[in-house]
A = this chain, B = another copy of it.
Amino acid sequence: MSESTDNYLKHLFALSQHNQAGISTSALAQKLDTRAASVTGMLKKLHRDGLVLHTRYKGTVLTARGRRIAAAIVRRHRIWECFLADYLGFGWDKVHDMAEKLEHVQSEELIDRLDQLLGFPTVDPHGDPIPGKDGKLPAASGQLALSETRPGDRVIIRGARSESPDFLQHLSSIGATPGVALWVKQVLPFDRSVVVRIKNNLHTLSAVAAAALVVSKNRMP
């Protein structure tokens, strides 16, 4: 189990949180900062090793075993983030990169003792939930609909409470995809439309759309 494998599983796990469909090779390549061709090759190995199910040209999903391992990695990452913040006083902007390296140290006993030292935290310094030893993620905290935000809020898009292709298509066209930052500029009083800024562009979302767009004030690991 190499660090590379860890990173593939970790990002597949994260992407799976907001995609019930299989993860695309390009989405994964972007997260991993590698080329799609490299990802295809690695996915073949992960498939061969029973960690993912990969269907040519279709997408990839984690197997139960792959998901279990991925959850353990995310657990390590977030527990280390807690330690770095609580014991060493690092800010939320620094803990991520260090935890990125510490997460690859595989020792269940080490993590369990850290967990205990930290008082069994359930969320990391970004407010993101820490998977339990069983691999289960506590209900995501800090998530809300865009319609529940107020002008001035800066949030991260998490997903959508709708499978409508039209709706998702529209979100994509304005760059509103999971992980992207969004600034709430104003809520129009007469129809409760929400004006938001995404990467220097202003967009207006109807009240219906705003109610279906899930955001959070936290960052993912």
Q: What is the count of identical protomers in the complex? A: 2
From B87, B98, B101, B109, give the contact of A117 (CB < 8 A): B87
Chain B contacts of A94 at CB under 8 A?
Answer: 109
Secondary structure at chain A's binding surface: helix, strand, loop or mixed? helix
Closest to A99 in B: B105
From B87, B89, B98, B105, give the contact of A98 (CB < 8 A): B105
Closest to A112 in B: B88
From B98, B105, B106, give the contact of A110 (CB < 8 A): B98
Q: Contact: A114 with B88, CB < 8 Å?
A: yes
Residue A102, interface by CB 8 Å: yes
Chain B contacts of A117 at CB under 8 A?
Answer: 87-88
Chain B contacts of A107 at CB under 8 A?
Answer: 98, 101
In the bound assembly, the distance between CA atoms of A94 and B104 in angstroms comes to 18
In the bound assembly, the distance between CA atoms of A84 and B90 in angstroms comes to 19
Closest to A114 in B: B88
Q: How many residues does chain A have at the interface if contact means C-beta atoms less than 8 Å apart?
A: 18
Chain B contacts of A192 at CB under 8 A?
Answer: none
In the bound assembly, the distance between CA atoms of A49 and B139 in angstroms comes to 50
Residue A113, interface by CB 8 Å: yes
Chain B contacts of A98 at CB under 8 A?
Answer: 105, 107, 110
What's the least CB distance linking A97 to chain B, in Å?
8
Chain B contacts of A88 at CB under 8 A?
Answer: 110, 113-114, 117
Q: 1/0 per residue A100-139: CB within 8 Å of B?
A: 0110111101100110010000000000000000000000
Q: Contact: A105 with B113, CB < 8 Å?
A: no
The chain A residues found within 8 Å of chain B, CB to CB, are 84, 87-90, 94, 98, 101-102, 104-107, 109-110, 113-114, 117
A sample of 8 more A-B contacts (CB under 8 A), given A84-B110, A94-B109, is: A88-B113, A88-B117, A98-B107, A98-B110, A101-B105, A102-B102, A102-B105, A105-B105
